[in-house]
Chain A
Amino acid sequence: QVQLVQSGAEVKRPGASVKVSCKVSGYTLTELSMHWVRQAPGKGLEWMGGFDPENGETIYAQKFQGRVTMTEDYSTDTAYMELSSLRSEDTAVYFCATVGREMATLTPHPWPFDYWGQGTLVTVSS
């Protein structure tokens, strides 16, 4: 059973950066393909990017390329998502999400996300 616990809410000024963490337990981070999804208030889900095990690289949604960096610290089993040059439209709940070992055997890659963090609210306001 995977558990994903995210860092707390953040308030940032426009132009600043934010770094959200996602601590993994129950698995090691090396076993997982971590992704990040965000949801603006009252809006839908938006995939930001994640690790593609088929090419061993992190891929980013075109919308966020150049502004987002996703990293992983395997010593602490913690994944990070850093978003820079923040603007008011980046106000959203940010989720980390991944696929568990069992689901990854039931369906081919690209896998769905059957484990999610609790979400981190990032507010961008002057």
Chain B
Amino acid sequence: SYELTQPPSVSVSPGQTARITCSGDALPKQYAYWYQQKPGQAPVLVIYKDIERPSGIPERFSGSSSGTTVTLTISGVQAEDEADYYCQSADSSGTYVFGTGSKVTVL
């Protein structure tokens, strides 16, 4: 299986923009997904198919993709966005992998 690499932490002031990257060799061939996880809770899907936002997810969450890197952007960060964020993808055999995770801290 392959690996998805994320920065361990991202710090941002309220109202600013947070960008979280996820790098992996298979990302040009497979879609990426993003999850938000708050302490003691199950993850919540915030982006699917690299750039799409599920219903109910605020518009300030967006995704982008370029080559072997996908990026989750949170525009106008709010205190409630403080959480751990994980990217996820899969290979052609259906084997899934999660990124290493990034903790977003709202200063």
For B37, list chain A residues within 8 Å (CB): 45
Interface size class of B (residues with CB under 8 A): 20 to 34
Interface size class of A (residues with CB under 8 A): 20 to 34
In the assembled complex, how far is the CB of residue A115 from the closest CB belonging to chain B, in whole angstroms? Answer: 9
Q: State whether B49 touches A106 (Cβ < 8 A).
A: yes
Instruction: Indicate whether A118 sits within 8 Å of B42 (C-beta atoms), given known contacts A107-B48, A112-B33.
Output: yes
CA distance A108 to B43 in the complex (A): 21
Which residues of chain B from 63 to 107 have any CB-CB distance to chain A below 8 Å in the complex? 84, 86, 88, 90, 93-101
For A35, list chain B residues within 8 Å (CB): 96
Q: State whether A114 touches B54 (Cβ < 8 A).
A: yes
In the assembled complex, how far is the CB of residue B38 from the closest CB belonging to chain A, in whole angstroms? Answer: 13
Which residues of chain A from 72 to 126 have any CB-CB distance to chain B below 8 Å in the complex? 95, 97, 103, 106-110, 112-114, 116-119
Offer 22 A-B interface pairs, CB within 8 angstroms, sorted by A.
A45-B35, A45-B43, A45-B98, A46-B98, A47-B96, A47-B98, A50-B96, A54-B94, A61-B1, A62-B1, A95-B42, A103-B45, A103-B48, A107-B48, A110-B30, A110-B94, A110-B96, A112-B45, A112-B88, A113-B35, A113-B45, A116-B43
Footprint of A on B, CB under 8 Å?
1, 30-31, 33, 35, 37, 42-45, 48-49, 52, 54, 84, 86, 88, 90, 93-101
